[in-house]
Structure 1
Amino acid sequence: MTLKLLYLVHVLATVIWVGGMFFAHQVLRPVAMAELEPPQRLRLWNGVFRRFFPWVWTAILALILTGQALALQLGGMAVVGLHVHIMAAVGYLMTAIFAYIYFKPYAALRRAVAAENWPAAGAAQNHIRPLVATNLSLGLANIILVFVLPVLI
């Protein structure tokens, strides 16, 4: 794969993941919170996550594969800039946070919504929200880092 194509896939995967979090947290959440009753809101979130999370897993795989391939084409991690090392570290931290969301509170949300246990579903959703906010902040910071740090160094 050419350098430009690797970079394009890397950027597209970033846009899908970070953009999806931005939409969910900054646009959908306020609407869902204000206009829907708890059972409807929790069913909506469960459906949104069910559709979005496979895209996140795909984006993570694409980011890791293209990131490693880009680093190799540039001469390896020993020769890339500090911003690339920080970007990769933040990306792996975001991946760990997402994996935790997926396997713990999201799994609890799915079970609770299926059982119509609204207090448990609400607790799971309340656990997910700040983790998504954290990942969104990390993702936006990572994007800024990639464009700003190389200019400053």
Structure 2
Amino acid sequence: MKLHHILLFAHLAGVIVWVGGMAFAHFCLRPAALPLPPAQRLGLWSGVFGRFFPIVWLAIAVIVASGFAMLLEVGFAQAPRSWHIMAAVGLVMAGIFASIWFGPWRALQQAVAAESWAQGAQALNLIRQRVTINLVLGVLTVLLATLGLAF
């Protein structure tokens, strides 16, 4: 087993956790939570994000570290352009996640603590919009990676 295989496994595991978690939240949890009253729905999301978001930070660290290690392994200049595109998109996704963490996620936590359901709903909607953007970017990046584009 080569170092590259370990890096690739770590990289893919991080992507699976992050993109898979977003897909689960968007396509499974969100529709199931919609009929709940605001207090229960927002409390549920606050609890879910309270567990998921720290895992996302870890996944981002693993993805970035393993991705750049693989780039260094082959050399930035020799790496396919698609790798550079994936790195750029990944960094944009990390920035979007940071904007969730420091913005609407904090607002959602405060709204749930204060039982301010209208403010919580606004924060949750912002989170949903940004997660949707990241989910689309993540799926497109996986598509780019699996097509093996070396342009």
Matched, 1:82 2:81: yes
**Distance (Å, rounded) in 2 between the aligned partners of 1:44 and 1:147:** 34
Q: Which runs of 5+ in 1 are unaligned?
A: none
Write the letter of the residue equivalent to 1:52. F
Partner of 1:67: 67
Identity among equivalent positions (%) equals: 46
Matched, 1:130 2:129: yes
Amino acid at match of 1:55: I
- Does residue 46 in structure 1 map to residue 36 in structure 2? no
TM-score (norm: length of structure 2): 0.96
Report whether the alignment pairs 1:146 with 2:139. Answer: no
Counterpart residue number, 1:3 = 4
Q: Root-mean-square deviation (CA), in Å?
A: 1.1
Aligned positions of 1:111-126 closer than 5 A: 111-126=110-125
What letter is aligned with 1:145?
L
Q: How far 1:117 moved relative to its partner? A: 0.7
Quote how far apart the aligned CAs of 1:150 are: 1.9
Aligned-residue offset at 1:149: 4.7
Find the residue that maps to 1:113 and give its secondary structure.
helix
Is the counterpart of residue 94 in structure 1 residue 93 in structure 2? Answer: yes
Shift of 1:130: 0.9
Structure 1 residue 72 displacement after superposition: 1.0
TM-score by length of structure 1 reads: 0.95
Instruction: Give, as a single letter, the amino acid of the residue that structure 1 aligns with 2:49.
Output: F
Instruction: Give the drift of 1:41.
Output: 0.2
Equivalenced residue count is 150
Post-superposition offset of 1:140: 0.4
